Copies of this chain bind each other. A is one copy, B any other.
Amino acid sequence: MDQRRGLLIILSSPSGAGKSTLASRLRAWDTSIRFSVSATTRAPRPGEEHGREYYFHSREEFESMVARGDMLEHAEVFGNFYGSPKGPVAAAIDAGQDVLFDIDWQGGQQVRNSSLGKHVLSIFILPPSIAELERRLRSRGQDSDDVIDARMTKSRDEISHWPEYDFVLVNDNLDDTFARLQTIVSAERLRLSQQPALVDTVRNLNKEFEERT
């Protein structure tokens, strides 16, 4: 009973709301937090490494992983499959480590409904404004207007799922938002279900009561 089970910390947001930066800061703040590296069928971009940004798989490989039940969640986005391999997550939380997921609402729903769903802490990040969201997307300089438009449509869909999350943070200031994220994660770790050692603590108190009388 002594071993705490880790949390599945799900961060979702429309693209450009600051989710990746917040995820990086969270991992820098507590290096025990594992990151759930997604599997994908899309081609690697320059500089991306198998097992670091993504696990890159063929469509056939991906589909057989899904068929074997090896994916905690998966979805098709813009013609490519994305998913979270289950094995590393289960191993990490059994070892008492929290695992961070950077996934969208579809993934969030599937993880919540999975066998590990009761260990989920889900947080949605909103942009302060849509103008700001678009500005951030454009400032990356990666995408054409058509791709930007498609991302904005997807963003609107993503935002519509905010009520499904435990917490929603409006990212108007990165430092403030990160402080709130730290508070949430710290508090959740104090929750009764995250403190299996309390059973021993109370057992020892009861022993003291016995010895007193």
Contact = CB atoms under 8 A, between A and B. Distances in A.
Interface of A: 126-127, 129-131, 134, 152, 156, 159, 162-163, 165-170, 180, 183-184, 186-188, 190-192, 195, 198, 201-202, 204-206, 208-209, 212
Contacts of A180: 190
A194 B194 CA distance: 22
A183 B201 CA distance: 22
B168 A198 contact: yes
Contacts of A184: 187, 190
16 contacts: A126-B198, A127-B205, A129-B205, A130-B205, A130-B208, A131-B208, A152-B212, A159-B202, A162-B198, A165-B192, A166-B192, A167-B190, A168-B198, A183-B187, A183-B190, A186-B187
Contacts of A190: 167, 169, 180, 183-184
A186 B134 CA distance: 31
* Integer count of this chain's copies in the complex: 2
Contacts of A152: 209, 212
Contacts of A167: 190-192
Contacts of A162: 198, 202
A14 to B, nearest CB: 9
A129 B212 CA distance: 12
7 smallest CB-CB distances across A and B, nearest first, come from: A187-B187, A130-B208, A184-B187, A183-B187, A156-B209, A183-B186, A167-B190
Contact of A191 (B166, B202, B209): B166
A204 B170 CA distance: 13
A166 to B, nearest CB: 6
Contact of A201 (B126, B166, B201): B126
A112 to B, nearest CB: 14
Contacts of A212: 130, 134, 152
